[in-house]
Structure 1
């Protein structure tokens, strides 16, 4: 299991962000029953940097809380049946791990949203990572049914590790 974390923001979160990220990534892998050792990259940045990434990749010129860049194409969320048919596309040749993708989190938004929603920064970071992990598994929230399914899964992943409101 490889969970790479890069901290690129000047502002430092006063919490054990590495432990929280690893905990939630592992919880999501367990919850979604990923049958492979996996690789996930997480970047913690600020509003300005995530705004630039959001503009470049989504053509939305504003900061957002989290961005997900999945490496696996799913027909159905968390359906891993097809990945071995494209080993060269989905697996790291050096480690043999399934390359799930990248997560980019704004530490500014972690602070802002924790205050706005009345919970801890720890819970907010855990929520954003759980949310993004579900995107890496192919879930989306464009339609009401998808949104409800994703919210339910996020809540259950967070609850398995004790991150509650």
Structure 2
């Protein structure tokens, strides 16, 4: 087994399907309107904010894999630009999908021997820790699924 290939497969699966849970971001968000995505329920983040949050971290690690520094700041992970139309919402979903695929493609090219090395700086931990962590982090998807259910009227029993 080639571990980078497996990590890339898991990255794609949580975004595009084929994982054990049979739930993925693309399918879950496909029928979410921009109004649903931006509806704030007291005590919760919006679906759009959660997607932005996941994508923000993906973009940060993607930059590190491309040789740049990890510049992500926790204070900015929910700084979602305004989503005021279906076009804005579509752009956010497309951006997340593109970054997920770009990340998976770079992971596949990563020599397995690099997985134990620090990603840009020792304070960030190893490549493996960051790449596996992104897959786990993308499972904010569960919150998105629950919010989607809360925002829609219950169907017939």
TM-score, reference length from structure 1: 0.29
Structure with greater proportional strand content: 1
- Whose radius of gyration is greater, 1 or 2? 2
Q: 1 or 2 for the larger relative contact order (CA 8 Å, sep ≥6)?
A: 2
TM-score, reference length from structure 2: 0.30
